[in-house]
Amino acid sequence: MHADNRWFEARIVWLPMNALTDPLWVPWVPTRRELMDIIFSLAGLSDKDVFYDLGSGDGRMVVEAAKRGVKLAVGVEKNRELYLKAVKLAEREGVSNRVSFINGDFFSVNISDATVVYMYLLTRVNRLLAPKLASELRSGARIVSLDFEIPGWRPLQIVEARIAGMDRKLYLYVKGVSDPPMIHGLMPGIRGR
């Protein structure tokens, strides 16, 4: 089965119209809190990091990264209601001074200052995001994707976890190591699939 079909299998009963007409539509499904320790430890999050969540939903990952002491945590979310929820959550949790929420399309936001990028999207969206990640991120930036791979990129690590009865997968990529020019032979010792 194609990985993108999992949403429809497991969770979606009612679909909004744009789910059928927009090939880049991604539903809002928040990251479960039980996964956060695994995600942040896989990313090797530290106080030097600038953390981005592409499609930040209600802002929980951004706020949590800020609470864990990153230099700056940025969320990009195109849904206005979710964006406003995120701003409120940051205020409630007292981290507004270390977060920035952008109400917009992540394809149009420059992410070149990110050192850690988190994505909980879909494989077909990751595929379209890959050139942006490759061109804007600095070498060594870490990307963690929940459940969906970046096609053509080589994960440095895959972590599997069973949470609330569901099998979850986390993919860790590193810019300059995982992306295609490197896996296709420019980097000694790493060979493409």
Ligand X SMILES: C[S@@+](CC[C@H](N)C(=O)[O-])C[C@H]1O[C@@H](n2cnc3c(N)ncnc32)[C@H](O)[C@@H]1O
Q: If binding is defined by CB under 6 A, does position 26 make contact with ligand X?
A: yes
- Nearest residue to 28 via CA among 39, 19, 20: 19
Sign of CA dihedral 105, 12, 61, 173: negative
Closer residue to ligand X in complex, CB, 65/182 = 65
Q: Which of 38, 67, 79, 184 binds ligand X (CB under 6 A)?
A: 79
Sign of CA dihedral 32, 35, 37, 43: negative
Smallest separation, CB 115 to ligand X (Å): 18
Region from 88-96, 101-109, 152-160, 167-175 binding ligand X, contact rule CB under 6 A: 101-109
Q: Which of 42, 45, 63, 77 binds ligand X (CB under 6 A)?
A: 77
Token pair for 127: 């595929």
Binding letters toward ligand X, positions 116-145, x by CB under 6 A: ----xx------------------------
Cα 72–chain centre separation: 16
| Alpha helix positions (H), the chain | 6-10, 17-21, 36-43, 60-67, 80-92, 123-136, 180-181
Q: If binding is defined by CB under 6 A, does position 170 make contact with ligand X?
A: no
Give the residues lining the site for ligand X (CB under 6 A).
Answer: 26, 28-31, 53, 55-57, 60-61, 76-79, 82, 105-107, 120-121
